[in-house]
Amino acid sequence: MVSKMKITKSKAYKTFTNPIWGNNPVSIQMLGICSALAVTVQLKTAVVMSLSLALVVAFSSMIISLLRKHIPRDIRILVELAIIATLVIVADEFLRAFFYDISKQLSVFVGLIITNCIVMGRAEAFALSNPPHLAFVDGLGNGAGYGSVLVTVAFIRELLGSGKLFGFRVIPESLYAAGYEDMGFMLLAPAAFIIIGLLVWLQKSLARD
Amino acid sequence: MSDTLRSLLFSMVLCLVCGTLLTAASSGLKEIQQKNMTIDQRKNILKSVGLIREDQTYSGEEINRIYEQNIRRLIADHDGNVIQASSSNTKKEEKALPIYLYTTKAGAVEAYVIPVDTQGLWGKIYGYLALKNDGATIIGFTIYKHSETPGLGGEIEQNWFQQNFVGKKIIAPGGEFVSISIAKGKADGSAPKNRQANFVDGISGATLTGQFLTQGLKEILTSYEGVSVAFRNTEEYCRKSTDRPWCRK
């Protein structure tokens, strides 16, 4: 019991959980919306994107935090961007050499990750003023916060839009025979906007109570 | 040291480090990546003619073995004449059309595979289209590289979409060449009744990718029409000359 109290009160724990609910990068800070529209048609792509983003934010924040005392303030954004982009591309090259099939699945995400505002946002807002281990945990937490929104949106879109979850049909054929139809609108980007909007509404009204 | 000088120095060091890392990763791993890409292309050629199954995994050596046993690469011209039989990659020439022949052990040509290299919505789409030896029926279609949006246009890499092509025709019932088109929505809803065989189901939310692919396939199949005609009229062509590998000697 005592040790549990310690964990929940530690700074690392708070750093990890805060971005998942109270300060969620997507639903509270409104970052990374573009990619949230693009990859939430299916659960599978949403999960892959969330995992990749969590790893990239964690490692780039850690490296930037390690260098935080040496980075000149006036060029810090350029430096951050160069570090993030190099990290992602080098990782992609390694995947292409040793895990070709994974890299094929990730290829289109690479660009989306580098330009994701969350990566830069965490570097600016957290990594520059905190020690490396906390920056790493913060990256993971933000990845999880981003992922939780993505997976929720993708769950709704894939279920209603194509009647599947993770590519497996869950809505039985008999229902289609009875006249049920997939909601084609769910496959289009505006559907993601509306779902994210509803999620933001839900979260804000829950947080107020 | 002044702040400006410090910033300059820092950015120079950063550029050097990042540049070295990128160059080292890119050139150091190039050979392995190239090997992976060749195997992946061969895998797609084999998949398009149905020699390997989607639900099984194959090692690189297996792929190379099956490929070398069954597939021959050669270069044809626009009239369907073989310019040269070649197993290595040659430079892109104006009239040269690479084709891959799927030959059985007995020596009969079962199918020919056309490389697909076309513009998509966001970038190039690469794949293979396999046609039966009647020069009209599609037996397989695969995509191995593209930059379409995952979940929308990216669905072209999925099995369900590629399976739609199997059994479709590139000629109309009257025998004239019409290519193969991706319908907007389901084929039976949007395509004319007598042209069902020339349309495949489209992807919802990816109309533009479908249009680009339709256009690209049409251009490619048009330039390969000479080869297809030679297959469609094997008897007539082989009476004139037997230098085509698909003419039994």
Quick check: B154 and A108 CB within 8 A?
A: yes
In angstroms, the CA B102 to CA B87 distance is 14
* Domain-embedded: residue A11: no
Under DSSP, the state recorded for B72 is E
In angstroms, the CA B179 to CA B193 distance is 16
Chains A, B: CB pairs < 8 Å: 82
Residue of A nearest to B29 (CA): A97
Task: Give the model confidence (pLDDT) of A22-42 as tens digits.
Answer: 888 888 888 888 888 878 888
Quick check: B151 and A96 CB within 8 A?
A: no
- Interface with chain A: mutation pick from B15, B33, B54, highest number of A CBs within 10 Å: B33
* Domain-embedded: residue A64: yes
A67 has a pLDDT exceeding 60: yes
B107 has a pLDDT exceeding 80: no
B21 touches chain A (CB under 8 A): yes
Quick check: A96 and B29 CB within 8 A?
A: yes
* Domain-embedded: residue A95: yes
Predicted pLDDT of residue A135: 93
| Average of per-residue pLDDT across B121-146 | 91
Per cent of chain A over pLDDT 70 is 95
* Domain-embedded: residue A87: yes
B194 has a pLDDT exceeding 50: yes
B190 touches chain A (CB under 8 A): no
Task: Give the model confidence (pLDDT) of B136-166 as tens digits.
Answer: 899 999 998 888 877 788 888 888 899 999 9
B23 touches chain A (CB under 8 A): no
Question: Which residues in chain A are contacts of B204 at CB distance < 8 A?
Answer: 161-162, 184, 187
Predicted pLDDT of residue B122: 86
Predicted pLDDT of residue B249: 45
For chain A, the average pLDDT equals 86
Per cent of chain B over pLDDT 70 is 91
| Average of per-residue pLDDT across A43-57 | 87
Task: Give the model confidence (pLDDT) of A78-137 as tens digits.
Answer: 999 999 999 888 888 888 888 887 777 777 777 778 888 888 889 988 999 999 999 999
* Domain-embedded: residue A29: no
Q: Rounded to a whole number, what is the distance in Å from the CA of A76 to chain B's nearest CA?
A: 9
For chain B, the average pLDDT equals 85
Query: Are the beta carbons of A60 and A84 closer than 8 angstroms?
Result: yes
Q: Which two tokens stand for residue B115?
A: 């490389």
Confidence of residue A149 (pLDDT cuts 50, 70, 90): very high
Domain region containing A130: 41-208
Predicted pLDDT of residue A27: 83
Parallel, antiparallel, or unpaired for β B181-182 and B82-85?
A: unpaired
Helix (H) / strand (E) containing B38: helix B30-48
Return the residue matching tokens 């929940």: A8
| Average of per-residue pLDDT across B36-48 | 91
- Count of structural domains, chain A: 1
Residue type, A69: K
Confidence of residue B84 (pLDDT cuts 50, 70, 90): low
Return the residue matching tokens 């040509």: B109
Under DSSP, the state recorded for B148 is P
Three-state SS letters, chain A:
CHHHHHHHHCHHHHHHHCCCCCCCCCCCCCCCHHHHHHCCCCHHHHHHHHHHHHHHHHHHHHHHHHCCCCCCHHHHHHHHHHHHHHHHHHHHHHHHHHCHHHHHHHHHHHHHHHCCHHHHHHHHHCHHHCCHHHHHHHHHHHHHHHHHHHHHHHHHHHHHHHCEECCEECCCHHHHHCCCCCCHHHHCHHHHHHHHHHHHHHHHHHHHC
- Interface with chain B: mutation pick from A34, A35, A39, A41, highest number of B CBs within 10 Å: A41
Q: Which two tokens stand for residue B191?
A: 């395509």
A93 touches chain B (CB under 8 A): yes
| Average of per-residue pLDDT across B73-99 | 69
Predicted pLDDT of residue B115: 93
B15 has a pLDDT exceeding 80: yes
Confidence of residue B203 (pLDDT cuts 50, 70, 90): confident
* Domain-embedded: residue A1: no
Residue type, A29: Q
Predicted pLDDT of residue B87: 46
* Greater model confidence, A3 or A74: A74
B22 touches chain A (CB under 8 A): yes
| Average of per-residue pLDDT across A134-152 | 93
Per cent of chain B over pLDDT 90 is 35
Quick check: B151 and A71 CB within 8 A?
A: no
In angstroms, the CA A110 to CA A127 distance is 22
Coil, helix or strand at residue B165: coil
Q: Rounded to a whole number, what is the distance in Å from the CA of B167 to chain A's nearest CA?
A: 24
Residue of A nearest to B11 (CA): A79
B36 has a pLDDT exceeding 50: yes
B223 has a pLDDT exceeding 80: yes
* Domain-embedded: residue A5: no
Q: Rounded to a whole number, what is the distance in Å from the CA of B84 to chain A's nearest CA?
A: 32
Predicted pLDDT of residue A101: 77
- Chain A residues 117-146 with a CB less than 8 Å from chain B: none
Parallel, antiparallel, or unpaired for β A164-165 and A168-169?
A: antiparallel
